[in-house]
Each structure stands twice: as C-alpha cells, then as structure tokens.
Amino acid sequence: MPNLNLNRRFFLKSAALIGCSAAAHPLMSSMTFAALPGDNRLVVIILRGAMDGLDAIQPYGDPMLRKLRSKLSLGPQNGAADLDGFYALHPQLLPLLPLWQKGELAFAHAVSTPYRDKRSHFDGQDLLEAGTGDDLPVDRRIGGWLNRLLQAIPGSTAETAYSVGVEQMKILSGAAAHLSWAPSASLRMSPQAQLLLEHVYHDDPLFRDAARDAAQIGAETPMMDKTQGPAADARALGAFAASRLNDQSRIAAFSIAGWDTHASQEAVLGRALDRLAAAILALRDGLGPNWERTTVMAMTEFGRTVRENGSAGTDHGTGGALLMAGGAIRGGRAYGDWPGLGEGQLYAGRDLMPTRDVRAYAAWAMRGLFGTGRDVLEQTIFPGLDLGDDPGILA
Amino acid sequence: MSFGFPELAAIRLGYGLSPLMPPPADVGAVLASVDTAGPGPEAVSTDDAREMSLRLREMGEASKTAGEAAAEEYRAFGRMLSRMMLTDLQRRIARAVDDPVGFGERLVQFWSDHFTTRPLGAAVQPLGLAFVDEAIRPHVNGRFEDMFFAADTHPMMLVYLNQNESRGPNSTFAKKRKAKGFGLNENLAREALELHSMGVGAPYAQKDVRELAELLTGLTYSREQGFAYRPQMAEPGAETVLGKSYGGGKRDGLEAIRAALTDIARRPETAQYVARKLAVHFVSDDPPEDLVQAMTAVWRDSQGDLPQVYRVLVTHPALADTLRQKVRQPYDLLVAGFRALGVSGAQIAGLEHPLNARMTFDPMNGMGQPWGRQAGPDGWPEEAEAWIAPQQLAARINWSLSMPRRMLEQLPDPRELMQASLGGTQSAALAWAVPKAESAAEGVALILASSDFNRR
C-alpha cells in the first residue's frame, strides 16, 4: 500500500509537541510551573467580519459624522453613552460603561494592519493573525504572532497559550505548541478503548496529539454552567478562557464573528456587540483577582466605509477601532490621533484614515506584560513594524 | 493487504466502501457517474421558493385576524420552512449513502461550497435549496462559465452577497429617491473575483471590483416578482472590468453581465485558481504541482469543460500517491460511516424530527461543521488542522461510539467491518488493535474513529 505521505505541517506541529505532554514535561511540577512565565495575562479576541469602529465608538464630536451618516452612529441623542465629549459608546456596549469609569476599558481609534485596498475579510484576517506586513506574498504569511510571542517567552509550554472555541485560530498557529478546547466538548471512552485508540493514532501526529489533549483537558475541566441566551456562546468562551488563565495559561485567543454589516447594521451590529460585551464581562467575572493582571485586546481585520451604503449598512473599509479592557490597562481614555472625516482626510476618499498600526498597541502591551524586547517585537513577532513611541496603555 | 483502483476511487472520490454495493470498476465508471448528480425528484425551484415565501406572508397576515387555527397553521408552516435546511441535509446524506460511486455528489458539495450561500430566516430557506438544484446540479458535468453565471446571478446569491440591495448611484431609481440614499454594494462583485473565479492573488484592482459592481446593478430578486433585471436600477454607461468594456447600450444589461462573467471565467488565473482548489479538495492540502498544472492546462485548453478536468484528476498518479492526505469533512465522515455499516438511504430518510437532527446536524456541529452556517462566503476550510482540534476529534470519537448503536439492531463483527469499509487500505496499527477491543461496540468505534477512516 502507498506510504502515508505526511504533510510537512504535521511534522512542524509534532516536532514542537514532543515532550510537552503534562506527564513528560520536565517543568511540569506545580512549584516550578507557577513561577513561569510570569503572572500577567493577555487575551486577544479576533472580531471576524470587520467591526464598524465608527459605530462601536462613535466620534460624534466630529461634525462630519452626521453629514456622512444619517441612520447610524447618531451619538448620545440615540442612546450612545458620552465618554469624553467627543466619543460615545454604542448603546449595546453600555454594560461595559462601568469598566470605562473604573479605568478598565479603553480604545484606540483609526488603527489598522498594513493591509490595504483589496478589502478581503479572509486576507485581512490572515494578515491580522499573521502579524506580518502586506509586502509578503500571501503564502509566506504563515504562523501567527501570538505563536511567535510564545517562542520568545522563556519557560513557556503548551499550557501557556489556549485557543478557545471550535474555530481555528491562526493567530496561535506555528512552531510553539499550544492547547485548544471548546467549552462544550467532553470525551466518553472506556480506558481500554482509549489505550487502543492511542495505538491506532500513534503514527498520525495530528490525531495522536489532538486525542491526547482532548483526554487531558476534558479530565481537568470542571463542568461549566449551562448559560442560555443569544450571547451564551460568547459568555462561555470568556468563562472557559478565564478558567484556563486562572490555572497555568497566560495567553488566550478566541474569535467572535458577525461583524460584516452590509445591511441593517443597527440590528446586526447590536447583536455582535452584545456578544463582545458578554465575553469581556465573563472574563472579568471569571478571572476574579487575576483581572488586575489581565489585558484584553479586541481587534478586527479592517474598518468599514465612513459613509452608509444603500442598505442601511456599511461596506469594507480601512481604519478601524481597537478595544482594550482589563485591570492591567490604563483605561477610561481614548488613544490614538483622530484623523478627521473631512474632505481630503479620508483614505481613498471613502475610509477612515489609519493613523497608527494596530500591531504597535499589541507590541507595547506584550512589552509591558511579558518584557519582550523591542528588537524581538520589531523583527520577529511583527517583522518590519516600527514600534514608535509608547502609547502608555498599561497602568 | 492489497487494493486497487476501485477501492481507491471509492475512498478518495466517493464516500467510501459499502457492503451493499461494489466500488466503481474503472475510470469510465467514475466519470460516467457524475451525470447522475443532476436535480432529483425533490428539487426545489426559485418559483417554488417564491410561492412558499409568499404563502408564509399571507398566512402571517391571516393569522392576525382569522383565529387560533390560522395562527397555528402559520406557526407550523414557519417551523417547516425553518427546518428545510435540516431536511435537505437529511435527504442529501440519504442520496449520498445510496450513490454507488459518489463522485457526483462529492462534486455537488464541492461546487456548492465554492459558491457558498447561506439562507438567513425561515422565508429564505427554500431559496437555499433552489440554489443547489438550479445553479449547481445542472452544471456539475458542464462548463464552469455556465455554473459561474448561474450561481452569481441566482436569487439566493443576490440575497446572500447583498447584490439585491445594490443600486447604481446614478440610476434613475436612485436619483428619484435621493433622500433614501440608495447606492452601490460591492460585496458580490468582490467575491465573484476573489473567491469564485480568479482568486485573491490575481491582478485585479479595487477599480475592477467597483466597475464590476456597477455592471451588476439591476440584478434583483423579490418574492413578488421573482428574478428580474431592472434597467432603472442599473448604473448607466459602460463599465471597464480588467481592461475590457461592457454594456453601455440601452438593452444589453443581463447579456453584458454574462459577457463579463464569461470572460472572467475564461481567464488563465481562473483556470489556475479553481483547478488548484479542486486538487486541494480531492487530493491533498498541498497538491503535487504537476497535477495542478495538468488540470490547469486542460481547463485552459477546453475553456473550463469540467468533465475533461475531472478526467485528469481521476487518472493522475497523485490520486494513489497522496492517499490519506485529506481529512474527511464531518459531512463526508457521516456518509462514509452510514455506508460502511450498511445503513441505507431509506433508513436515513425515514428518521423523524428530532431524531434526524440528532443523527446528522448535531454530530456535525460538534465536529465543527454546523450545516448551513458557514462563517463566511469562503465556505468550509480545507486544511486537515481545521477539522482535528481536540474538541472536534472528541466529537468524532463520541459519534463513533454512539452512532452505530443507534442505527443498527445488531453490530457487525469488527474484523469484517474493517475489511469491508477499508478494503485493504487499513494500517497495521488498526489491524492490530481492532481484534483486541473488549466488545463489538468498541471495535466498531475504533474503526470509525481511526485516522484511516477519518482520512481519505
């Protein structure tokens, strides 16, 4: 019979995972493990579909906004919460307002990845998760930036980072091992069947490693409360991530979809913001005292057109917004330079002009949380990025 | 252990082996089978979909005044429509389970995913079925350009990718309603180039997207009027897409769209991009370059005559060389599992609600393929890694343990099942482990959960 011709990516993953099972890992004793790799936590939420930053965080103080939008982003007069006299928080994000008041919520407006002009969700997300520049060919943008961060953190193990949810998170893919789990899964196998299955999977690293992780994580995971309601899934993602971060993990990533608001944006965006707020609050509630050492960054592939389209929605744009939360941040304030919405201030005459690379905020967060060196950030984790000045997002 | 082309073809091009029917004898049998993938007796048309949608609205209005019986009738009809994707999944699985070769049904799945649509809301569900029956199945064994045009002008696609809300900014329709701010929506034009034809790396620019979007204005669908090209909503004047001018005359709206889409379909970038995607789906996440080039060349020379492209795929040595490099997607795994156990299509089709969901939609959802709920217009992922995360593999293993006991009164002898379902392709490790299982149920589960069975 033909040989099993293993895909080279299997080798990459398996090589990284060898020796990382809990039983075999030399550092896997609770005493040594707790000291590594520090106590700070980073959660990255990928908002898939391109969040309309101008609606989530409404710059109602810019008089041009009302000229460009007549149905959306109407500011405090339509229920949004005024934040600082210029920006207002979308009504559906009001559950997060107490965080803003406590200095645990912030945002940076007019940010983007280096991705320009084609405005494809999939390429935009790939680039956001790869963390590379836009100058590499698509197939060279491999591996995610959180994975390269893991490789730069001394003493990190597979347990250090968690990909949460059923969806694949490219931001964590790469040579450093990490774990993944969905809050809902659990394995129902007899010990004998499990042993035989281990034998059957032995020569197929993809299946072997996934089965081993499934058995291990399932055994360690307490039963979650069955939360109901439209935001239940997002709440479960946040709660599960918190449970891992309270244990040995320091980095978690998950995604929330539903931001592609080409039509009926008011209703569609409202539901997506509900989920985002639910996930952030579940993280805060679940993390308890560890919330103080946590930074949450919710980022999206690009922003949306500054003008409404013909169907009460918005189309793919460029500059967007980054949402930050957590007890570790210096919140209650807006970061970044506002580019304006006037004639000549827009990108390509249609989009919010990006004034800073979203990767710079992520880089400064990692520098503060994990002590990652400037050269590693600029050359390895975000190759080609100019870190620029410290925006001071951490408390 | 040895096996030949029939086993290879059944496993790689179809839904695996079945004790109820022999695998395809040769290349001719595989290729001839694609002709059977046309619309079936249950096919839904756009007109059917329209009528159901209108009926739902009428019943909704009647339910407000005509008493409780009318209200209950309305709710029941709404439930039936909401479940249409689910009953369609059940029917498609039943059809695939009974298909002697399966290559045609696999292709229907491939192309329906290449042209992903997603019906949202009860009233639109039947249109999602009509899309596959009208835009995909009739063209699976035909020319790509015909499928491209049928798919990207189909009412379901117009609704899904917002074409239905796109109006020429300078059309008479938009100008008469200035206050309403009708305008262009680029979504369909962008995906037509990026996902459906040339691929995102191809040399087209934002200007091409915009002008194609302007050319596509005028395509509309409504439940009252059905599909219609409305010149009053179209952007006036000619549009230049990829250096060529289309339209501008008074009456050539739909024909100009067809001309542009046909030219895009015939571009070499389209041949390269879509031929490669076929190879990725059927052969390997990283397919041998000579296979991709051979398929691309035949695609170019035949102007996208799909049967000729399929022939390259079916006869190429890569088919044998790359065995087990693909992971079966959850849909394929379920069909293969039912086939391996000798479950018939009639048994699947006979499952009543909610058992049909428990045996089809629910396990697929746990495995990461919630049917009809693709994350975006790029459809389901191809890479093995996207399907075998720990929680997804846990769902596959749990299904292997529970499904056979629910579908069969008596479980087969695991040793016989191994030979019948894997036909000599099983690994030494599986052959060693299966006889050591404590019970028939665990032996059967080992086979269905094995990487031999979960790969193809």
Tokens, residue A164: 């949460």
**Which chain A residues are closer than 8 Å to B392 by Cβ?**
166, 182, 185, 210
**C-beta separation of A299 from A315 below 8 A:** no
Do residues A206 and B388 make contact, with C-beta atoms less than 8 angstroms apart?
A: yes
A79: tokens are 């229920």
Q: Do A185 and B378 touch (CB under 8 A)?
A: no
3-class secondary structure per residue, B275-331: HHHHHHHHCCCCCCHHHHHHHHHHHHHCCCEHHHHHHHHHHCCHHHHCCCCCECCHH
User: A351 Cβ partners below 8 Å, 6+ apart?
Assistant: A303, A304, A305, A306, A317, A318, A319
Average pLDDT over residues B134-150: 98
The Cα B135–Cα B156 span in angstroms is: 10
- Residues of A30-58 as b/e, b for ≥16 C-beta within 10 angstroms? eeebeebbeebbbbbbbbbbbbbbbbbbb
* Chain A residues whose beta carbon lies within 8 Å of the beta carbon of residue B182: 310
Nearest CA in chain A to B177: A310
**Which residue type does B154 have?**
H
Task: Specify the amino acid at residue A347.
Answer: Y
Q: Do B185 and A119 touch (CB under 8 A)?
A: no
The CA distance from B282 to the nearest CA of chain A, in Å, is 15
Question: In a 3-state reduction of DSSP, which class is residue A88?
Answer: strand
Using a CB-CB cut-off of 8 Å, the residues of chain A touching B436 are: 196
Which among B193, B275, B276, B196 has a CA at the least distance from the CA of B242?
Answer: B193
Kindly determine whether residue B429 and residue A348, on different chains, have CB atoms separated by under 8 Å: no
Q: How far is A331 from chain B (nearest CA, A)?
A: 32
**pLDDT confidence band for A18 (50 / 70 / 90):** very low
DSSP β-bridge partners for residue B239: B246
Predicted confidence at residue A159, as pLDDT, reads: 87
**B200/A118 CB distance under 8 A:** yes
Q: What is the model's pLDDT at position B252?
A: 74
A4 close contact with B: CB closer than 8 A: yes
pLDDT beyond 50 at A1: no
Q: Is A159 on the interface with B (CB under 8 A)?
A: no
What is the crossing angle of helices A205-220 and B390-407, to 10°?
A: 90
Residue A11 has pLDDT above 80, yes or no: no
CA dist A20 and A32 (Å) reads: 15
Question: Which of the 8 DSSP states describes residue A36?
Answer: T
Q: Do B181 and A308 touch (CB under 8 A)?
A: yes
The helix (H) or strand (E) run that includes residue A57 is strand A57-58
Two tokens, residue B109:
């799945």
Cβ–Cβ under 8 Å, residues A310 and B174: yes
**Chain B interface disruption, residue of A8, A14, A171, A206, most B CBs within 10 A:** A206
DSSP-derived secondary structure for A236-266: HHHHHHHHHHHTT--EEEEEEE----SS-HH
Nearest-angstrom CA–CA distance, B393 and B448: 12
Which residue type, as a one-letter code, is found at position A224?
A: M
Res A152: pLDDT: 93
A124 touches chain B (CB under 8 A): no
pLDDT at A3: 34
Out of B181, B187, B386, closest to residue A168 by CB:
B386
**pLDDT bucket at B359, cuts 50 / 70 / 90:** very high
Q: Which of B181, B398, B449 sits opposite A310 (nearest CB)?
A: B181
> What is the 3-state secondary structure of B344-383?
CHHHHHCCCCCHHHHHCHHHHHHCCCCCCCCCCCCCCCCC
State how far the Cα of A289 lies from the Cα of A102, in Å rounded to an integer. Answer: 15
Q: What Cα–Cα distance (Å) separates residue A358 from each residue in A57, A338, A391?
A: 16, 14, 12
Q: Express the helix, strand and coil content of chain A in percent, nearest 5 each.
A: 40, 15, 45
Q: Would an 8 Å CB–CB cutoff place A202 in contact with chain B?
A: yes
Mean pLDDT of B433-447: 91
Q: How far is CA B247 from CA A65, B207, B243, B258, in A?
A: 36, 16, 13, 10
Which among B182, B174, B258 has a CA at the least distance from the CA of B216? B258
Closest Cβ–Cβ partner in B384, B392, B450 for A7 = B384
Burial class (CB in 10 A: 0-12, 13-18, 19+), B189: buried
How many interface pairs between A and B have CB atoms less than 8 angstroms apart?
190
Q: Backbone phi, then psi, for A351, in 5-degree steps?
A: -120, 160
Mutation for A interface: B451, B452, B453, B454, most A CBs within 10 A: B451
Between A257-266, A351-360, B124-133, the lowest mean confidence (pLDDT) is in A257-266
Question: Looking at residues A323-329, what average pLDDT do you find?
Answer: 98
pLDDT tens, residue by residue, A37-80: 789 999 999 999 999 999 999 999 999 999 999 999 999 999 99
Which of B322, B323, B451 comes nearest A201 by C-beta? B451
Residues A122-161: pLDDT tens digits? 789 989 999 998 776 554 556 899 999 999 998 898 889 9
Count, in order, helices (H) and strands (E) of chain B: 26, 4
B41-65 tens-digit pLDDT: 999 999 999 999 999 999 999 988 8
Give kind and range of the element (H or E) at residue B239: strand B239-241
Torsion B189-B194-B199-B202 (CA) sign? positive
Q: Cα–Cα distance between B407 and A147 in angstroms, integer?
A: 43
Q: Which of B330, B393, B404 is nearest to B93 (CA)?
A: B330
Sign, Cα dihedral of B201, B205, B206, B210: negative
Four-residue CA torsion sign, B105, B108, B113, B117: negative
Q: How far apart are CA A37 and CA B79, in angstroms?
A: 53
Q: How far apart are CA B128 and CA B87, in angstroms?
A: 12
Phi, psi angle pair for A337, to nearest 5°: -95, 130
Q: What is the largest CA-CA distance in chain B?
A: 77
Q: How far is B183 from chain A (nearest CA, A)?
A: 4
- b/e string for B312-340 if b means 16 or more Cβ within 10 A? bbbebebbeebbbbbbbbbbbbbbbbbbb
Q: Contacts of residue B189 in chain A, CB cutoff 8 Å? A: none
Contact B198, A324 (CB under 8 A): no
* Chain A from 51 to 70: CB within 8 A of any B CB: 70
* Chain B residues touching A313 at Cβ < 8 A: 162, 165, 185
Angle value at C-alpha B377, between B371 and B383, nearest 5 degrees: 70
The answer, yes or no, to whether residue A31 has pLDDT greater than 50, is no
Classify residue A338 as exposed, middle or buried by CB count within 10 Å of its CB (0-12, 13-18, 19+): middle
What is the pairing mode between strands A105-112 and A320-325? antiparallel
Query: What pLDDT was estimated at residue A194?
Result: 86
Interchain contact A194–B (C-beta under 8 A): no
pLDDT band at B32; cut points 50, 70, 90: very high
Residue B71 to residues A283, B59, B60, B63, Cα–Cα distance (Å)? 43, 8, 7, 4
Pairing of strands A88-89, B239-241: unpaired
Strand-pair partners of A162: A179, A252
A264 and B CB contact within 8 Å: no
* pLDDT over 90, % of chain A: 66
Cβ–Cβ below 8 Å for B181 and A200: no
CB contact under 8 Å between B183 and A310, yes or no, is yes
φ and ψ at residue B220, rounded to 5 degrees: -140, 160
Of A48, A192, A316, which has the smallest distance from its Cβ to B438's Cβ? A192
What ipTM does this complex have? 0.94
As given in the structure block, the two tokens for residue B144 are 């790509």
Question: Which residues of chain A does B424 touch, with a Cβ-Cβ cutoff of 8 Å?
Answer: 1
Peptide bond into B354 cis (omega under 30): yes
Dihedral sign for Cα atoms in the order B192, B197, B198, B200: positive
- When scoring A21, A46, A129, A315 by the number of chain B Cβ atoms within 10 A, the one with the most, hence best to mutate, is A315
CA distance A46 to A279: 12
> Residues of A with CB below 8 A from B393's CB?
207, 210-211, 214
Report the residue from A10, A48, A199 with minimal CB separation from B433.
A199
Residue in B205, B376, B384 closest to A206 by CB: B384
B392 closest CB neighbour out of A166, A217, A308 = A166
In this predicted structure, what is the pLDDT of residue A21? 33
Cβ separation B394–A5 shorter than 8 A: no
Q: Residue A310 is nearest to which of B2, B166, B445, comparing CB atoms?
A: B166
In whole angstroms, what is the distance from residue A375 CA to residue A12 CA? Answer: 25
Contact by Cβ (8 Å): A377, A366: yes
Residues 6+ apart with CB under 8 A from B91: B42, B349
What are B48's two structure tokens?
A: 């059917």
**pLDDT value at residue A20:** 32
Do B433 and A200 count as a contact with CB atoms less than 8 A apart?
A: yes
The nearest CA of chain B is from the CA of A260 a distance in Å of 9
- Percent of chain B topping pLDDT 70: 99
> Across all residues in chain A, what is the average pLDDT?
86
| CB atoms near residue A66 (< 10 Å) | 14
Give the number of residues written for chain B: 456
Chain B positions touching A180 (Cβ under 8 A) are 389-391
Backbone angles phi, psi at B305, to 5 degrees: -80, 105
| A22 has pLDDT over 60 | no
Please give the pLDDT value at position B259: 97
pLDDT digits (tens, 9 = 90+) for B238-278: 999 999 999 887 667 899 999 999 999 999 999 999 999 99
Measured between CA atoms, the residue of chain B closest to residue A124 is B200
Q: Which of A108-117, A206-215, A233-242, A258-267 has the highest mean pLDDT?
A: A108-117
Q: What is the mean pLDDT of residues A219-233?
A: 66
Calculate how close chain A gets to B67, using CA atoms only, in Å.
31
Strands A334-335 and A88-89: unpaired
Kindly indicate the confidence band of residue A267, based on its pLDDT and cuts at 50, 70 and 90: very high
Beta strands in B98-214 (DSSP E): none
Residue with tokens 């001018």: B245
Scan for tokens 């040579």, then name that residue: A175
**At residue A105, what are phi and psi to the nearest 5 degrees?**
-140, 135
Chain A residues in contact with B188 (beta carbon < 8 A)? none
Looking at the complex, report in whole angstroms how far the Cα of residue A180 sits from the nearest Cα belonging to chain B. 7
pTM value? 0.72
